[in-house]
Amino acid sequence: MAFKQTYHLLVTTSFVLLFALVSPASNAAVYVYIKPDGSTLITDKRTNRKGYKLKRSYKTKPYRSGGNKSPYFAKPIRSQYDALIVNTALKYGLEPAFIKAVVHVESAFDHMALSKAGAMGLMQLMPATAASYQLTKNTFKPEPNVEAGVQHMRDLMDRYNNDMRLSLAAYNAGSGAVSKYNGIPPYKETQNYVVKVMKLYRLYKKQI
């Protein structure tokens, strides 16, 4: 079952261009409104529409993983990619808080992150995985990287009957490892990965 959409995202053309043109030091803003029907609007632009109540707003700024330093596992981050993450998650029927937690643990919102194994970008896609979603160029560009990563997670969630933990394990260690062990593999890295993402998912659910 796909995630029930209760959010609406408004991203202006200028904001889309911002992702492509923004300098690493630029800041942005996110506005969260409650609409008259009770649903949520997450946008980069203020609105004065009748009945729309501003629930909260916040400034965002770029974060980088800092090379081999621990990438902020302990607490939520207000990243400049929040709107992109929410929009793409909803497009594929996944919870924005879940996808944001994945991005947080994978790359700490560093769109140029590159692992020793060759995983790339915000979603830390391996070249073969990226290629399977027609991503062979601009692999570090935020929009196509997140799009391919979310598509991959959607496929895993479908495969594992929306079991987040199994899907995360497969995202980290591969579906073959999950099948081999008929569950989360006994790899310390994978087990820690699942715990970290699920912890942040619960925290982000309170914000998104």
Pairing of strands 40-43, 7-10: parallel
The whole-angstrom separation of Cα 111 and Cα 81 is 9
| Catalytic position from the list 106, 143, 147, 189 | 106
Q: How many CB atoms lie within 10 A of CB 82?
A: 25
DSSP codes, the chain: -PPPP-EEEE--HHHHHHHHH--TT--EEEEEEE-TTS-EEEESS----TT-EEEEEEEE------TTS----SS----TTHHHHHHHHHHTT--HHHHHHHHHHHHTT-TT-B-TT--BTTTTB-HHHHHHTT--SSTTSHHHHHHHHHHHHHHHHHHTTT-HHHHHHHHHH-HHHHHHHTSS-S-HHHHHHHHHHHHHHHHHHTT-
Residue 95 is a catalytic residue: no
Dig out the tokens for 58 from the structure: 């916040």
Q: Active-site residues: which are they?
A: 106
